[in-house]
Amino acid sequence: MRDFYGVTLSNAMMLGTAGYPSPAVMEAAFRGSGAAVATVSLRREAGEGQGFWSIIRSLGVRILPNTAGCHSAHEAVTTARMARDLFETNWIKLEVIGHADTLQPDPFGLLQAAETLAADGFEVFPYTTEDQVLAQRLIEAGCRVLMPWGAPIGSGMGLMNRQGLRMLRAASPDVPMVIDAGLGLPSHAADAMEMGFDAVLLNSAVSQAGDPAAMARAFALAVQAGELARDADPMGVRDMAVPSTPLLGKAWL
Give pLDDT tens digits along the chain (253 positions): 578 999 998 889 999 998 899 888 999 999 989 999 999 987 655 545 567 778 888 888 899 999 998 999 999 999 999 999 988 999 999 999 998 888 899 999 999 999 999 999 999 999 999 999 999 999 999 999 999 999 999 999 999 999 999 999 999 999 999 999 999 999 999 999 999 999 999 999 999 999 999 999 999 999 999 999 998 988 888 888 887 776 666 666 6
Q: Is 182 known as a binding-site position? A: yes
Catalytic residue among 93, 169, 188, 217: 93
Active site residue 93: yes
With residues binned 3-state (H G I as helix, E B as strand, rest as coil), the percentages for the chain, rounded to 5, are 40, 15, 40
Q: Is 204 annotated as a binding residue?
A: yes
User: Is residue 65 a contact partner of residue 95, using CB atoms and an 8 Å limit?
Assistant: no
- For β-strands 13-16 and 7-9, DSSP reports them as unpaired
Q: Is 154 annotated as a binding residue?
A: yes
- Say whether 181 counts as a known binding-site residue: yes
Q: In what order do the strands lie in the sheet with 13-16?
A: 147-148, 123-128, 91-94, 62-66, 37-41, 13-16, 199-202, 178-180
pTM over 0.75: yes
CA dist 13 to 29, 59, 94, Å? 12, 14, 18
What Cα–Cα distance (Å) separates residue 99 from each residue in 41, 69, 70, 103? 19, 11, 11, 5
